[in-house]
Structure 1
Amino acid sequence: MGLGKWVGFLGLAIALYILWEIRQVLLLVFAAVVFATAFNSLVRRLQRVGMKRSGAVALSIGTFLVLLVIFVALIVPPFITQFQQLVELVPKGLDNLQNRFQDMQSMIPGYSQFVPGVDDLIRQIQPLAARVVGNFFAWFSNALAIVINLLLVVILTVMFLINPQPYRRGFVLLFPSFYRRRVDQILSLCEIALVNWVGGTLINMVVIGTVSGIGLLILGVPLALANALLAGLLEAIPNVGPALSVIPPVAIALIEDPFKAGAVIVLYIVIQQLEQYLLVPFVMSKQVSLLPAVTLLSQVIFAISFGFLGLFLAIPLVIVGQIWLQEVLIKDVLDPWQESEKFKLEPAIDAEELDVTSETEHS
């Protein structure tokens, strides 16, 4: 290997190392690109109506901020109040649970030999509770960093949305001149796919939030509206979000009645099954098709590598990556790859010829 190749290899290694070190910043930039792409679709529709781009951008962002403030106002205060009630009612719930255990121990002979008592369970839960509280304070200490990251995403989104063409042209110029038109076409495909994904996700969020709210109201679970909004919001994270959304209503229902908590679990299981077999096929017909195993593995890999932000952006990252692989590697490299006459393979042996050869060898 010559000196030039070694220098090129070293430069590539240094570039990959730098990209890995700034991976969180790159993810924040990608999040801003996703949001800007979604808002840009709305801005273009408003422009078709006759509105100027500056007014359409202001209207789109203003509407989003108003909805965000309404969402936070509906979610945060009720959950703070409910958390205070939860702290007060947990000892009462433990006393009721201990009384139920004692009743079951008196009704079932030998029950205490196989099932631990409440005191034993509390002693086993205490280390876990201490660890959870410690993690809570650690997460709380990082709240400032989270707020700064959110502000960065908002600012970048606004910058990309006001005038997206210079950023797009700058990205296209990173490629050789003969391939720039093709890169612009691939970026258009990525934009369409991301807009379809955002639209489908919004449909899922609205439907799941509405159905969850109706079900929680029928069951008489407190804070049905807040829990429904939370379920709709977490629907943006497939597989993981629905599992997280069931925890608050179950915890709230468990204080009042354990059977009601079981009913909440059944409700969410039914909702997820209806989503899987009715809603997802309808919504995914307008999106880039992703295999369920690929979706789950991508979430696990990105969550381990990049944390919660990687988990949230796993699906759009996979969508964009799939388009680039399909367009560049498959269509532009592998499909036009013609077999050379020098390396053309011999035709495969037929089954009849193979049988004749084996009979000859045996004879």
Structure 2
Amino acid sequence: MSFGTWIGFVAFFISLFVLWQIRQLLLLIFTAVVIATSLNILVKKFCRRGLKRSYGVILAILALLSVSILFFQIVVPPFITQFQELAALIPLGIERLNIWLDLLLSRLEPDIISYLPDAEELNRQLQPLINQFLGGGLNFFYSSFGTLLSTLLLLVLSLMLLADPIPYRQGFIRLFPAFYRRRVDEILTLCALSLQGWLVGILFNMLVIGILSFIGLLILGIPLALAQAVLAGALTFIPNVGPTLSVLSPMAIALLDDPWKSFAVLILYTFIQQVESNLLTPLVMSQQVSLLPAITLLSQIFFATFFGFLGLLLALPLTVVGQVWVKEVLIKDILDRW
């Protein structure tokens, strides 16, 4: 190979290394793009009614803030009260557990009891873990402060992209060779349409899951039915993982009333998730975005491994956009021509 080819390979690998080092920043920028694309749907609807884009942007942001405030007002205050009651019952549960353990130990043979650790040994073994947990408080503070700054940066980027997206789009297109820029513009349009289709589908799923959860929890007589339903609908945004997280809260709160209700809640949420995975998702996503279930699961594992929780949260939109680029660039523009 020529010297220029070697220089090109070196520059390519250096670029990959730099992109890998700033992967969290790139993921933050992609999050801003997703938020801006989502809000742009509202902006376009406002513009069709004769409003200027600036006014449409302001109304879309106000709508987002209103929904966020309403969500936290419905979910957070009731949960604090219920979990305080649950925390008050924890000592009673520990006392019952101690009685059960004493009863169990009384029925065991002395030779077996000698091999079991006593309270002092357990305390000695758990002490390093407790110290490590308490020592991580400062790190938790710094990570929380960094999360706050990242959130503010995300909101500013989303607002900038939403207010005037054309210069940023044109700047991204100019990163490609001149002969391919028109094609990149078409691919970006397809990505925006796919993201909007995915958003419509996931919002529909969230709405249906929330309604079914609310009806089921009302029938079972579980406290905070509305808050639990809103939380279940919101966690539907994260496939596979979200449904598992959504069932923990109603099961824990059901323990305040009747332990058997926790089992009934588990059956209810299992039924709802079966309806969502076997009926809603194939029906909605086939009309909006075609993603195979195995691809969805693998993408969640992949992005969560390399990008953490934010990667897990954005696994589906990243997969939707990646699917468009693979289909249009790799398959249509390269492999099909060969």
TM (normalized to structure 1)? 0.82
Would you say 1:207 and 2:201 are equivalent positions? no
Note the C-alpha offset of 1:56: 0.7
Distance 1:290 1:135 in 2: 43
Note the C-alpha offset of 1:141: 4.6
Note the C-alpha offset of 1:217: 2.1
Note the C-alpha offset of 1:257: 2.4
Note the C-alpha offset of 1:79: 2.1
Note the C-alpha offset of 1:61: 0.6
Note the C-alpha offset of 1:130: 4.8
Where does residue 5 of structure 1 map in the other structure? 5
CA distances 1:156-215 after superposition (whole Å, capped 9, x unpaired): 111001111111111111111111111111111100000011111111111111211221
Would you say 1:180 and 2:181 are equivalent positions? yes
Q: Residue 131 and residue 199 in structure 1: after superposition, are their counterparts in 2 closer, same or farther (change >3 A)?
A: farther
Would you say 1:253 and 2:254 are equivalent positions? yes
Does structure 2 conserve the Cα–Cα contact (< 8 Å) formed by 1:74 and 1:226?
Answer: yes
In the TM superposition, structure 1's runs of 4+ consecutive aligned residues that sit over 4 Å from their partners are 96-106, 123-141
Q: Residue 217 and residue 194 in structure 1: after superposition, are their counterparts in 2 closer, same or farther (change >3 A)?
A: same
CA distances 1:299-350 after superposition (whole Å, capped 9, x unpaired): 011101100000011111111111111111111111122xxxxxxxxxxxxx
Where does residue 53 of structure 2 map in the other structure? 53
Where does residue 331 of structure 2 map in the other structure? 330
Where does residue 282 of structure 2 map in the other structure? 281
Letter in 1 for 2:199: V
Distance 2:219 2:103 in 1: 30
Distance 1:100 1:250 in 2: 23
Distance 1:330 1:194 in 2: 20
Distance 2:247 2:127 in 1: 24
Q: Residue 132 and residue 192 in structure 1: after superposition, are their counterparts in 2 closer, same or farther (change >3 A)?
A: farther
Distance 1:214 1:102 in 2: 42
Note the C-alpha offset of 1:295: 0.8
Unaligned runs of 5+ in 2: none
Does structure 1 conserve the Cα–Cα contact (< 8 Å) formed by 2:83 and 2:253?
Answer: no
Note the C-alpha offset of 1:101: 7.9
Distance 2:14 2:71 in 1: 44
Where does residue 162 of structure 1 map in the other structure? 163
Letter in 2 for 1:19: L
CA distances 1:66-121 after superposition (whole Å, capped 9, x unpaired): 11011112222222222322221111233455667889999xx99xx9xxx9x99x
Distance 1:135 1:17 in 2: 33
Q: Residue 21 and residue 270 in structure 1: after superposition, are their counterparts in 2 closer, same or farther (change >3 A)?
A: same
CA distances 1:17-40 after superposition (whole Å, capped 9, x unpaired): 111111111001000001111111
Q: Residue 5 and residue 155 in structure 1: after superposition, are their counterparts in 2 closer, same or farther (change >3 A)?
A: same
Letter in 1 for 2:293: P
Distance 1:150 1:158 in 2: 12
Where does residue 33 of structure 1 map in the other structure? 33
Distance 2:97 2:211 in 1: 33
Q: Residue 278 and residue 46 in structure 1: after superposition, are their counterparts in 2 closer, same or farther (change >3 A)?
A: same
Does structure 2 conserve the Cα–Cα contact (< 8 Å) formed by 1:209 and 1:231?
Answer: yes
Q: Map 1:120-159 to 2 at 5 A.
A: 130=130, 137=137, 139=140, 141-159=142-160
Distance 2:130 2:222 in 1: 28
Where does residue 309 of structure 1 map in the other structure? 310
Does structure 2 conserve the Cα–Cα contact (< 8 Å) formed by 1:221 and 1:253?
Answer: yes
Where does residue 16 of structure 2 map in the other structure? 16
Q: Residue 239 and residue 93 in structure 1: after superposition, are their counterparts in 2 closer, same or farther (change >3 A)?
A: same
Q: Residue 83 and residue 270 in structure 1: after superposition, are their counterparts in 2 closer, same or farther (change >3 A)?
A: same
Where does residue 43 of structure 1 map in the other structure? 43
What SS is found at the alignment partner of 1:175? coil
What SS is found at the alignment partner of 2:86? helix
Q: Residue 6 and residue 288 in structure 1: after superposition, are their counterparts in 2 closer, same or farther (change >3 A)?
A: same
Distance 1:169 1:43 in 2: 20
Does structure 1 conserve the Cα–Cα contact (< 8 Å) formed by 2:29 and 2:154?
Answer: yes
Unaligned runs of 5+ in 1: 338-363
What SS is found at the alignment partner of 1:159? helix
Note the C-alpha offset of 1:128: 12
Equivalent residue pairs, number: 332
CA distances 1:278-314 after superposition (whole Å, capped 9, x unpaired): 2112211222211111111110111011000000111
Greater alpha carbon shift after TM alignment, 60-69 vs 280-289: 280-289
Distance 1:258 1:313 in 2: 36
Computing the radius of gyration from Cα coordinates, the structure with the larger value is 1
Does structure 2 conserve the Cα–Cα contact (< 8 Å) formed by 1:299 and 1:315?
Answer: yes
Distance 1:177 1:287 in 2: 32
Note the C-alpha offset of 1:7: 1.9
Percent identity reads 52
Distance 1:128 1:258 in 2: 34
Q: Residue 237 and residue 136 in structure 1: after superposition, are their counterparts in 2 closer, same or farther (change >3 A)?
A: farther
Q: Residue 188 and residue 218 in structure 1: after superposition, are their counterparts in 2 closer, same or farther (change >3 A)?
A: same
Letter in 2 for 1:273: Q
Does structure 2 conserve the Cα–Cα contact (< 8 Å) formed by 1:90 and 1:255?
Answer: no
Where does residue 263 of structure 1 map in the other structure? 264
